[in-house]
Structure 1
Amino acid sequence: MSRTARTASAALTVALALGVSACGGSGGDDVAADAKQTLTVWAMGAEGEKLAEVAEVYEKANPNITVKVTPVGWDVAHQKLVSAAAAGTMPDVAQMGGSYMGEFAELGVLEPVDTKTFDKGDFFPAGWSQGEVDGTAYGVPWYVDTRVLYYRTDLAKKAGVDKAPADWQEMRSLAAAYQEKAGTKWGLSIQPSGLDTVQNFYPFLYSAGGAILDDKGEAVIDSPEAVTALKEYGAYFEKGLSDKSVQPGYDVVKDFGNGRVPMFFGGPWHVTLLDEGQPQIKGKWAVAPVPAGTSSVSMAGGSSLVVSKDSEHKAAATAFIEYLTDTEGQADWYERTKDLPANTAAWDSGKLADDANLQVFKQQMDTAKSSPSTARLTEITDKVDQAIAKVTQGKASAEDALKTAQSEIEGLVKQ
C-alpha cells in the first residue's frame, strides 16, 4: 500500500503554523520515565492494531506506564495529525512516514531525537535519513521497506535465461524474451501514470545517479542522469513491454501468478502475498536486487516514531520508542507484522538471517535512497508523476517532460 498522503495547502499550512505558535508548549515539567503516567500513541493502518498488543506486553514489564494506542487509518492520518498540531493536542508518540516529516518539523511540533539514546549507526542509513530535516533528526526509524525485482524463474528458463538480470540491458532483454519465447502478455509491470507513479520510477532514477532534489534542496530533476532514467523507463512502454493503461487498484500479484506479468518491482509484503495467494508458483519465482544503471539503488520507505514537542512525557516516550527499536523489539515486531527491521542488528539471527529472499531486501536497503524531507514533497513528486505520464503516453520526450517538471519544482522549493 502507498504510505504517501496529500499535504496541506499553502493557506492551511500558514494557518496551522500560526495556530501552533499560539498554542506554544504545554508549560509543565517533563514527568520522570518511571513515574505513574499514561502515554498516548498514534499508529497507522495495520501497525496501529498490532502495536496495541506490544503495548500490553510493555505495560506488564513497566506497571507504572499505561500505553494508550489509537489506530489511525492511513486515509485520514495526515488530516488528523494536521488538526492535532493546530489544536496543540498531538499524541506523545506518533508514527510518521518520510512524506510527513518535513512538513511537521517545519511547523515546530516535533521534539528532536535524543541522539545520546539513539545511535544512527544502529540503523540503515536511508532509514535514519528519513527522519532527518535540515540535519536534525526528528524521527527514530521503526521499520523500513524498499523495492526489489520479483521475477518468474520458470518462465525465464523457458525464455532461455537462467539468472536474474544484473543491469538495465539484461532486464530489458529478459522482458522481451519473456514475451517472445515464454508467451507472456507483458515483460515488466511498471506504473504508467497516476498518483505515486514516482515510486516505480525511483529505482530507475536512483540507479542512474539522479535525484529530484539535491543535498541543498534545489531541483535537479532535469539532470542528464534523470533524463537517462526516464528514457529507459519510457522505453518499456514505447516497445510494448509494459502496459500503458494500468487501472487504479491493479493487482500485480494475480498477473504474476498467472504468467501475464513475469517481472515487477515490489516490497517485502509481496513475499507473503505470493506465498499465501499464489501457491501454484511456489519455487517458480525469486527476488533480486534492482538491476543497475550506473549502480543498483532503490527507494527507501517505512516509518519513524516521533515525540511531540508539547508532550509532558518525553522521558517515558523515549523509553517506549527505545523498547520498540532495539534489537529484541525489532525482531519481535517483524514476527508480528513482517515489517522489516530498521535496526540492522535484528537481521543477524532467526528467519531474517536465514531467508534468502529477505536478505536481498537487506542488501538493497544498504544502498537505498530516501526521498527528500521537505514540507512540499507531495506537490513536488506530483510534478514528477506528470512528467512520467507524458513520456509513457508518448506525449513528450524525456528531456521536455523533465524540463517542465524542473521549472515547476523550482517554483515550489522557492516558495
Structure 2
Amino acid sequence: MTGYSRRRFLRATALAGSGLLAAPLMSACGDDGGDAVESGAVTIDFWTHDPGYEKTFTETAKALTDGAGGSKFDYTLNITKSDSDALVTRMISQGAAGSGTPNMLGIVISVFPRVMAGGIAKQLLTPLDDIIAPVKDDLLRTAPYTVDGKVYALESDTCVSVLYYREDEFAKNGIPTDVATWEELATVGAGLHARTGQSLGVVATGDNTSITNQYLQFLLQRGGGFFNDKGELILDSPEAVQTIEFMAKGLQSGFLLGVPDPYGAPNTAALKENRLIAIAMPNWYNVYGLQTNVPDQKGKWRMRTLPKFQGGGHIGSSLGGTGFAVVEDKPATAASIELLRYTYLTKEGQLARFKAGGFLPTLAKLYNDQDFTGYDDPYLGQRVFDVYTPAAKDLPTFYQNQNLNLLTDSFGGPLLEALQGKKSPGDAIKEAVDAYKKKAK
C-alpha cells in the first residue's frame, strides 16, 4: 500500500475506532525513517504497563546480545511504562502522525479490541503468523489476538484460573479440599457463611469491567462465552443464564462475597481478616493478589483445579492476559521480531519469563517439561504444575470482538441487577443484547 493510500485509509477509519477523532492522520509506513538494521547495535523502543515484562525482556535481550540463538544483534531497550490503554492510545496517535511509535508494546487482552477496530492492527502491527508457524499447533491462546485470520500479538501468560484456598481454614471447618462440583461447594459455602461469616469466592459489584470480567471467568468455564470464533455475539445462551443464577445464589447465601473490585481494598481486607478463605482466580493472582497483599499468610494457601459445573464445561478457565506486538516497517522490526520469537516461542525464553515474572508457558508441551513441573512454589508450598498442567489441557477458548467495550458497557448494569436479585437473568441478558446491537450499529 502506498504512503498516500495508507494515509487516506487511516484518515477515514483508524481513529474512528479508537476514540481519537481529533487527531490528524498520516502514514505509519517508513515510521521514524532509516534503513533496516540487520545486525549489530539496535535500540528497541519497548512499551509496557508491567515491570514483570520489563524484567523479562531485559534478560532475554541480554541473552540474545550474548549470542543466544545465534543472534547477530546487540540489544538496548528503551523502556516506556504506562497503563496499557494509554500506551495503545499513544501508539495509534503517533502512528497517525507518522513518527514516535514503539518497536514493541504489550496490549492487555481487554484493550486489544481497540486495535481490531478500523483496521488499526493491519495498518500498524506486524502479522506474526510466519514466526509462529513452526509451533502453531502447540501455541496456546492465539484466538484473542487474531484479526481476520492473522495473529498480531503473542500471549504472555496462559492465565490459568484455579481455586486458591486456605488449607488451615478448610481443615478447621471440616471442608474437603477435593469437592467435585461448584454446586456442592456452594452448599458447603452457604453453611460455612451461616456459621462463621466466611466466604469461598467473590462476585464483583463495582464498575462494569470488574462485574463482567468476574462473570466471564465463570461463564467460560461453564462452556459459554461472549463471542464465537466469527466474532458473533453468543451471550444469549443457557450457559449464560445458569452462570448468573449460580453467582446470584452464591451472593445471596454468602458463599460468594460481594466486593467492588476483586483487587481492591475491600477484597484485601477480607483476605487479611480471614473472611475470604478461597477464591477462583488466574495463576497471576498468586503473586499480585496473595503474595502482595497477605505475605504473612505464606504456607497457609494452596491451590487446586476449579470444581466443575454439574451442567458441564471445563476444569480450567482464564482471566486477563497481555499480548506483545511488533510495529511494522521500522528499522528495528527484524530485531524486534527476533526478540519476541526468542522470548515467547522457545523453551529458553519461556523459562526466563516464568522465572522473571511467574508467567506460565504458552507452549503446551512445556506443561510436561521437568524444568517447569519440578517447580515448588515457595508461597503455596506445592508443585503448582500438578494443578496447572491438567487445567491448561482443558482451557476454554476466549474469542474477541472489536466491540467488546460496547458489550461491557451494555451488560454491566443489567448483570449487576441480576446478581443482586433485582432482575431475572434472562431479562438482564435480553436487555444487554438489545443495547449492544443498537450501539454496535
Aligned with 1:83 (options 85, 93, 116): 93
Contact 1:204 1:229 in 2 (8 A): yes
Measure the CA separation in 2 of the matches of 1:151 and 1:163. Answer: 8
Amino acid at match of 1:47: G
Aligned with 1:342 (options 362, 386, 401): 362
Aligned with 2:204 (options 191, 194, 206): 191
Indicate whether 1:45 and 2:54 are aligned. Answer: no
Measure the CA separation in 2 of the matches of 1:226 and 1:339. Answer: 30
Are the structure 2 counterparts of residues 274 and 214 from structure 1 closer, same or farther at C-alpha, using a change threshold of 3 Å? closer
Contact 2:227 2:401 in 1 (8 A): no
Q: Equivalent residue for 1:232?
A: 246
Q: Equivalent residue for 1:176?
A: 190
Indicate whether 1:267 and 2:267 are aligned. Answer: no
Q: Which has the higher contact order (CA 8 A, sep 6+)?
A: 1
| Local SS of the residue matching 2:321 | strand
Are the structure 2 counterparts of residues 324 and 187 from structure 1 closer, same or farther at C-alpha, using a change threshold of 3 Å? closer
| Local SS of the residue matching 1:321 | helix
Are the structure 2 counterparts of residues 270 and 224 from structure 1 closer, same or farther at C-alpha, using a change threshold of 3 Å? closer
Measure the CA separation in 1 of the matches of 2:360 and 2:266. Answer: 22
Measure the CA separation in 1 of the matches of 2:339 and 2:18. Answer: 35
Measure the CA separation in 1 of the matches of 2:146 and 2:253. Answer: 40
Unaligned runs of 5+ in 2: 1-13, 377-382
Measure the CA separation in 2 of the matches of 1:236 and 1:8. Answer: 42
Q: Equivalent residue for 1:12?
A: 19
Aligned with 2:391 (options 337, 360, 364): 364
Q: CA deviation at 1:320?
A: 1.1
Farther-moved stretch of structure 1 (377-386 vs 26-35): 26-35
Aligned CA RMSD, in angstroms, stands at 3.0
Which portions of structure 1, spanning 4 or more consecutive aligned residues, are displaced by more than 6 angstroms? 27-30
Measure the CA separation in 2 of the matches of 1:157 and 1:300. Answer: 29
Are the structure 2 counterparts of residues 244 and 275 from structure 1 closer, same or farther at C-alpha, using a change threshold of 3 Å? closer
Q: Equivalent residue for 1:3?
A: none
1:292-307 matched pairs, under 5 angstroms? 292-293=308-309, 294-296=312-314, 297-307=316-326
Aligned with 1:70 (options 79, 85, 107): 79
Q: CA deviation at 1:30?
A: 6.8
Contact 2:156 2:323 in 1 (8 A): yes
Measure the CA separation in 2 of the matches of 1:256 and 1:8. Answer: 42
Contact 2:199 2:276 in 1 (8 A): yes
TM-score between the two structures when normalised by the length of structure 1: 0.85
Contact 1:104 1:110 in 2 (8 A): no
Q: Equivalent residue for 2:107?
A: 96
Are the structure 2 counterparts of residues 34 and 279 from structure 1 closer, same or farther at C-alpha, using a change threshold of 3 Å? closer
Q: Equivalent residue for 2:137?
A: 121
Measure the CA separation in 1 of the matches of 2:154 and 2:299. Answer: 37
Indicate whether 1:59 and 2:65 are aligned. Answer: yes
Amino acid at match of 1:211: G
Indicate whether 1:376 and 2:403 are aligned. Answer: yes
Measure the CA separation in 2 of the matches of 1:199 and 1:14. Answer: 28
Unaligned runs of 5+ in 1: 1-6
Q: CA deviation at 1:401?
A: 0.8
1:253-292 matched pairs, under 5 angstroms? 253-272=268-287, 274=290, 278=294, 281-292=297-308
Contact 2:48 2:83 in 1 (8 A): no
Are the structure 2 counterparts of residues 205 and 30 from structure 1 closer, same or farther at C-alpha, using a change threshold of 3 Å? farther
Are the structure 2 counterparts of residues 71 and 358 from structure 1 closer, same or farther at C-alpha, using a change threshold of 3 Å? farther
Are the structure 2 counterparts of residues 378 and 146 from structure 1 closer, same or farther at C-alpha, using a change threshold of 3 Å? farther
1:279-326 C-alpha deviation (Å, 9 max, x unpaired): 654444321222222122412532222111232333222211111111
Measure the CA separation in 1 of the matches of 2:16 and 2:264. Answer: 26
TM-score between the two structures when normalised by the length of structure 2: 0.80
Indicate whether 1:159 and 2:165 are aligned. Answer: no
Measure the CA separation in 1 of the matches of 2:268 and 2:390. Answer: 23
Q: CA deviation at 1:207?
A: 2.6
Contact 1:131 1:138 in 2 (8 A): yes
